[in-house]
Amino acid sequence: MFKAILLGQWHSLSDAALEQALYVRIDFLQFCGLSLSDAIPDETTLCRFRNRLITNDRLDDLLASINEQLQSHGLMIKGATGAVIDATLIESAARPKKTITLECGCRRR
């Protein structure tokens, strides 16, 4: 749960967006130690978990500890501005290419 909260923080995601990301992003699942068959925490569960950390005065200490560990390895987290997207173009059989013949005798594709 804490790793999910970290992802939400690092990627500026709302709880609803974080829940959705956990459903569609394999890298998020892997980071959180979840598999495709595991139950995904819903937005309410994520919110309650974060609020419990805040109420018990633990969230700031945990985030500071994570930052210290990252810095000790020469790393830092910068706000994410994008996502990995597979933009491979594939030809669809649903819409085959058509040739249209115009009255002027020209061919248009």
Q: Which long-range contacts (CB under 8 A, 24 or more apart) does 58-66 make?
A: 62/2, 63/9, 66/6
Whether residue 70 contacts residue 38, with contact meaning beta carbons closer than 8 Å, is answered with no
Tens of pLDDT, residue by residue over 57-99, are: 999 999 999 989 999 999 887 765 666 666 676 666 665 566 6
Give the Cα separation of 9 and 60 in Å (integer): 12
Tens of pLDDT, residue by residue over 11-47, are: 999 999 999 999 999 999 999 999 999 999 999 999 9
HSE on the CB side for 4, CA within 13 Å?
A: 27
pTM beyond 0.85, yes or no: no
Whether residue 1 contacts residue 46, with contact meaning beta carbons closer than 8 Å, is answered with yes
Q: What is the pLDDT of residue 35?
A: 94
Q: Using the predicted structure, report yes or no on whether residue 105 has a pLDDT greater than 90.
A: no
